[in-house]
Amino acid sequence: MRWVVVGVATLMSAAFLGLNIRSHIKTASDRWLIIVVGSIVLQLGLGLVLKLYFFTFFYHDTLKFN
């Protein structure tokens, strides 16, 4: 369930970023598609890193507090 929520949020964020950056980059550069796809890929990578870093739980059975 967590994978679905993080995946949907990441895809929505990447789509929003791609659509917003496309209009600005398209007029400024001939290689706008490479820049937009690269930024989307980086956004998807960031979503994966955040999912693995913040939403991974380790359960320790032998925690001892003295």
**pLDDT more than 70, % of the chain:** 83
Q: Phi and psi at residue 58, in whole multiples of 5°?
A: -110, 125
Domain regions of the chain by residue span: 2-54
Which residue did the predictor score with more confidence, 56 or 42?
Answer: 42
pTM for this prediction: 0.68
Q: State residue 12's pLDDT score.
A: 92
Q: State residue 36's pLDDT score.
A: 85
Question: What burial class does residue 36 get, using C-beta atoms within 10 Å of its C-beta: 0-12 exposed, 13-18 middle, 19+ buried?
Answer: buried
